[in-house]
A = this chain, B = another copy of it.
Amino acid sequence: MSVIYERVALIGLGLIASSMGHAMKRDGIVGEVVGFAKTQETRETALKLGFLDSVAESAADAVIDADLVVICVPVGAMETVAREIGPHLKSGATVTDVGSVKQAVIDVVGPHLPDGVHFVPGHPLAGTEHSGPSAGFADLFKNRWCVLTPLSGGDVDASARLRGFWEALGANVEIMTPDHHDLVLAVTSHAPHLIAYTMVGVADDLSRVTDKEVVDFSAAGFRDFTRIAASDPTMWRDVFLNNKEATLEILGRFTEELFDLQRAIRRGDGQQLHDYFTRTRAIRRGIIDAGQDTDAGNFGRGDGGAK
Interface contact B214-A283, CB-CB below 8 Å: yes
> A187 CA to B196 CA in the complex, in Å?
12
Considering the complex, give the chain B residue whose CB is closest to the CB of A228. B221
Q: Which of B126, B250, B279, B300 contacts A201 (CB 8 A)?
A: B279
Q: Would you list the 6 A-B pairs with minimal beta carbon distance, nearest first?
A: A189-B220, A230-B284, A233-B277, A304-B304, A224-B224, A200-B280
A208 at the interface (CB under 8 A from B): yes
Interface contact B293-A227, CB-CB below 8 Å: yes
Interface contact A218-B287, CB-CB below 8 Å: yes
Identical copies in the complex:
2
Q: How far is the CB of A127 from chain B (nearest CB, A)?
A: 7
Q: Which residues from chain B contact A191 at a C-beta distance below 8 Å? A: 199, 202
28 A-B contact pairs sorted by A residue (CB < 8 Å): A130-B295, A135-B297, A145-B219, A180-B208, A187-B203, A187-B214, A188-B221, A189-B222, A194-B265, A197-B261, A198-B254, A201-B257, A202-B250, A202-B253, A205-B253, A205-B257, A206-B253, A215-B290, A218-B292, A223-B287, A224-B225, A227-B284, A231-B281, A233-B278, A237-B273, A241-B270, A255-B255, A294-B306
Q: Which residues from chain B contact A215 at a C-beta distance below 8 Å? A: 283, 286-287, 290, 292
Which stretch (A26-34, A53-61, A136-144) binds chain B?
A: A136-144
A40 at the interface (CB under 8 A from B): no
Given contacts A203-B187, A283-B203, A303-B303, A219 and B292 within 8 Å (CB-CB)? yes
A234 at the interface (CB under 8 A from B): yes
